[in-house]
């Protein structure tokens, strides 16, 4: 048994001493408490506290893997919804600490279903973060009904996103009353979290859609290097990072002045399932790919020169009286300079969901961005991209959703308490 | 830059010295050659040689992640198929060594599409193995046509699997002329391998189906501990392991005497996409779950006592004149003692493919087994399981395929050379 915080060790030890994650002990002694000899165990012992001023999973250094799920609320009863949020909060606090959900009854009463489904029992916390969000339909459903008595608290900015050119949305991959973003450095831990939260919500919620992401495409901390998306390019170089406190307040966290005080310290989560036509992309010449992006494929430097972190020079002349970074290059179209300085905190993941009907892979980017206001920080950028960005030819948006992400839960609170208080 | 073998380092160094993987160098000097600060980099520098007596990816210690793809061959020309196998062999040898496919032209001629799609450029080899297989339809297609002049070399054992009770097969997730199993400790590396092989095959093959697996469920080496499936139980405890040389010859490798000499040293790959009704499972009492499996959930010990590796005592009496391991327990139904001693080398992975129409997760086990003869080593066990196993109530088989896996490619050979020679 290693010194890491593992669910199995905690269950089996009789008396267990945990670190920052808190202590937990169960009575039954078990054998085989070893941690599996999987890759990366050392890095997987990281834990992030569930409670705090902000929810974890936003500025938390982007973990490697994602399981995202949107839920429909089946109940019409406010008390039942609040009860679920209380139970979800408890389970999220346990699982992010590397503990099983509930009482750890996998070793308990054989007459009852286990409180935890078990597939993460031997695994450390793996940097798990669990982030909850509320969709527009939670406040007012499709028929306009205020099921939970919160319609008057719906923020003005929490509306269905407008239709953008290039959107080919599948309703079964869009929207949702609630969402859960589970990020971890082990996919089994992220899947375990969503699966157990869905189990806890049985009868009150059902899964509307769910998305696995296997490779982070964004950097949310200066301690991380920039990964690559499925176009093979570095992605998210200019992302808002955790260390930029002023930028977070300006671009990510909702302020006290937004007309929905319960959301202060929270954010908005934009989710977009962006299918990439990778087989077509792969047949484009390297020079064209680089022109579409506005950066080199190898190092990620702007076509105007320098290194990855060098600011692009959009005025530098190229051939044929055109700038060296083309007018329709992605890096130019979405650059903050073109949008009054607005920035997003992106947290997307690559995905491959089997194959498509054309004999290729159903692959792309599950885009996630956190912004202070989608109306100012997302919609104008997306509109410009849909209309003018050279990359758009290789993208189809097949799912879309917007959620208000409440601030973090304080001691004794459930997530979203400020909304229901 | 670290001492690991990384594609980016190999590309960028001008003169690069590689380890066991072989040396590779390209002319253009690039900056930013660091390896991303992702989890598990140390473990991810493992490389497995592509060439050898057997293909890698069978007894190779099971990596954490899977991308599996089945292909239809569009061509009717034997030379074109052989040419593809030659190009696939070259690319597989490069990628498993941690190099880009082809010439690494991501830094090369801007007028041509890159030889490598780029998304694994900064990543180490991550223990990548690539394993190729040939389906029955490659030898004789749906109309019985011998497209490639190999019908007379089709092994007797390479036939469509029979229909089993509980099979609800989706043709779009079943069969295939060719298959590629890519396993790695980083999913982006496994996806990159399949994606580039599909790209190289453009016009000659199309993807018929593809499956990602996120958590290995089997142990193929005594150096590995036993992971858990999505029922939350340890899986594959009694698997054939790499260290059991005699058992490999008896149960996994095809011998010289099998009537298809080209396959000697190869194996048969059985792939089954097993959907688990996890939401129903999660509501079963712990005692019932343990009775269905025949093992405890916590430690994986047989219900007859001991520890995980203790042999089950199927005769030990329980209550009510029943044995303590029930007559329909999974561990009893599939135990080698019930099948003349046959064993399989299992290499399955957990999967979650979004959600299903019932408000749950589309989740389960992508079962992969390597056997010397599916007729003796898989079909009887699967029949017994379909008819008598208590677990079957919680399983639906939604995809199925069988492939002959040729022996490893020797120096200068392409994979499958013995079939086409």
- Chain segment B385-403, per-residue pLDDT in tens: 999 999 999 999 999 999 9
* A342 min Cα distance to partner chain B (Å): 27
Task: Name which of A38, A127, A361 is nearest B210 (Cβ-Cβ).
Answer: A361
Q: Is residue B347 part of a domain?
A: yes
pLDDT tens sequence across B248-278: 999 999 998 767 899 999 999 999 999 999 9
pLDDT per position as a tens digit, A199-249? 999 999 999 999 999 988 888 888 888 899 999 999 877 789 888 889 999
In a domain, A367, yes or no: yes
Q: Is the dihedral of CA B136, B48, A190, A274 positive or negative?
A: negative
Confidence of residue B43 (pLDDT cuts 50, 70, 90): low
The shortest C-alpha distance from A290 to chain B (Å) reads 9
A289 contacts on B by Cβ (under 8 Å): 114
Structural contact between residues B371 and B248, judged by C-beta atoms closer than 8 angstroms: no
pLDDT bracket for residue A291 (50, 70, 90): very high
- Full residue range of the structural domain in which residue A271 is found: 53-108+120-419
pLDDT value for B380: 97
The verdict on a CB contact (< 8 Å) between A283 and B188 is no
In a domain, A34, yes or no: no
Predicted confidence (pLDDT) per residue in A189-200, tens digit = 999 999 999 999
C-alpha to C-alpha distance for A116 and A120, rounded to whole angstroms: 9
- Chain B residues closer than 8 Å to A63 by CB: 39
- Contact residues on chain A for B277, CB-CB shorter than 8 A: none
The answer to whether A38 touches A219, Cβ cutoff 8 Å, is no
Examine the pLDDT at A305 and tell me if it is beyond 60: yes
- How many CB atoms within 10 Å of residue B151? 14
Could you tell me if A236 and A344 are in contact, meaning their C-beta atoms sit under 8 angstroms apart? no
Contact A407, A266 (CB under 8 A): yes
Given a contact cutoff of 8 angstroms between Cβ atoms, the answer to whether B44 and B126 are in contact is: yes
∠ CA A62-B97-B210, nearest 5°, is: 65
> What's the mean pLDDT in A46-75?
97
Q: Tell me the CA end-to-end span of chain A in Å, nearest whole number.
A: 44
Q: Measured between CB atoms, which of B214, B232, B283 is closest to A187? A: B214
Cβ-defined contact of A282 to B117 (cutoff 8 Å)? yes
Residue of A nearest to B223 (CA): A37
Determine, yes or no, domain membership for A28.
Answer: no
Asked if the interface predicted TM-score (ipTM) of this complex is over 0.95, the answer is no
- The dihedral sign for the CA sequence A236, A237, A241, A247: negative
Cβ neighbours of B394 in A, within 8 Å = none
pLDDT at res. A256:
87
In a domain? residue A7: no
pLDDT score for A7: 58
**What is the total count of domains within chain B?**
1
Q: Is residue A226 domain-resident?
A: yes
At B29 the pLDDT is 25
- Cα–Cα–Cα angle for A105, A110, A112, nearest 5°? 70
H/E run at residue A290: helix A286-293
Give, for B69, the enclosing helix (H) or strand (E).
Answer: strand B65-73
Q: Which of A113, A232, A354 sits opposite B118 (nearest CB)?
A: A232
Residue B145 has pLDDT above 50, yes or no: yes
Determine, yes or no, domain membership for A18. Answer: no
Domain presence at residue B44: no
How far B383 CA sits from the closest chain A CA (Å)? 27
**Closest to B355 (Cα-Cα) out of A71, A330, A18, A395:** A71
**A346's tokens:** 């992106």
Nearest to B113 among A173, A284, A363 (CB): A284
pLDDT band at B108 (very low <50, low <70, confident <90, very high): confident
Farthest-apart Cα atoms in chain A, separation: 78
Q: Give me the DSSP letters along B88-129.
A: HHHHHHHHHTTPPSTT-GGGS-TTS--SS--TTTTSB-TT-E
Q: Is residue B145 classed exposed, middle or buried when 0-12, 13-18 and 19+ CB atoms within 10 A define those classes?
A: exposed
Tell me: pLDDT of B129 over 80.
yes
Region A268-297: what's the mean pLDDT? 97
pLDDT above 70 for A8: no
**Cβ of A110 and B287 within 8 Å?**
yes
* Record: contact B38-A64, CB cut-off 8 A: yes
Chain B residues whose beta carbon lies within 8 Å of the beta carbon of residue A106 = 232, 286, 297-298
- Distance, CA of A164 to CA of A388 (rounded, Å): 12
pLDDT tier at A259 (50, 70, 90 boundaries)? confident
DSSP tag of B295:
B
For tokens 């912004």, name the residue. A371
How many secondary structure helices (H) and strands (E) does chain B include?
11, 10
The band of A105, judged by pLDDT with boundaries at 50, 70 and 90, is low
Question: Which residue out of A100, A183, A352, A362 would a mutagenesis test of the B interface target, given it has the greatest number of B Cβ atoms within 10 Å?
Answer: A352
């Amino acid at each position: 048994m290693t010194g890491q915080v593992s669910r199995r060790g905690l269950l089996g030890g009789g008396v267990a001493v945990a670190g920052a994650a808190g202590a937990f002990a169960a009575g039954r002694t078990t054998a085989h408490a070893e941690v599996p000899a999987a890759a990366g165990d050392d890095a997987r012992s990281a834990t992030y506290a569930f409670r705090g001023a902000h929810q974890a999973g936003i500025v938390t250094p982007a973990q490697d893997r994602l399981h995202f799920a949107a839920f429909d609320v089946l109940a019409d009863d406010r008390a039942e919804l609040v009860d679920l949020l209380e139970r979800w909060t408890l389970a999220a606090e346990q699982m992010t600490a590397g503990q099983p959900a509930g009482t750890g009854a996998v070793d308990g009463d054989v007459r009852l279903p286990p409180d935890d489904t078990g597939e993460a029992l031997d695994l450390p916390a793996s940097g798990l973060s669990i982030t909850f969000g509320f969709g527009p339909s939670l406040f007012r459903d499709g028929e306009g009904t205020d099921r939970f008595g919160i319609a008057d608290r719906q923020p003005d900015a929490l509306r269905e996103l407008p239709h953008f050119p290039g959107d080919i949305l599948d309703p079964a991959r869009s929207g949702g009353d609630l969402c859960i973003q589970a990020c971890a450095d082990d996919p089994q831990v992220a899947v375990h979290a969503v699966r157990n939260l869905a189990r806890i919500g049985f009868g009150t919620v059902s899964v509307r859609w769910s998305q696995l992401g296997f490779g982070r495409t964004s950097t949310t901390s200066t301690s991380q290097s920039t990964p690559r998306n499925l176009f093979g390019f570095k992605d998210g170089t200019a992302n808002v990072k955790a260390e930029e406190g002023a930028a977070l307040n300006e671009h990510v966290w909702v302020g006290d002045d937004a007309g929905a005080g319960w959301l202060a310290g929270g954010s908005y989560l934009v989710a977009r399932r962006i299918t990439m036509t990778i087989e077509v992309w792969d047949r484009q010449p390297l020079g064209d790919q680089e022109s579409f992006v506005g950066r080199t494929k190898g190092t990620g430097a702007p076509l105007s020169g320098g290194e990855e972190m060098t600011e692009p020079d959009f005025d530098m002349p190229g051939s044929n009286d055109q700038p060296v970074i083309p007018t329709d290059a992605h890096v130019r179209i979405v650059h903050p300079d073109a949008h009054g300085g607005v920035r997003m905190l992106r947290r997307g993941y690559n995905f491959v969901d089997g194959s498509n009907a054309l004999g290729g892979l159903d692959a792309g980017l599950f885009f996630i961005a956190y912004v202070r206001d989608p109306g100012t920080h997302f919609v104008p950028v997306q509109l410009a991209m849909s209309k003018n960005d050279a990359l758009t030819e290789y993208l189809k948006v097949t799912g879309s959703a917007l959620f208000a992400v409440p601030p973090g839960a304080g001691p004794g609170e459930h997530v979203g308490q400020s909304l229901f208080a």
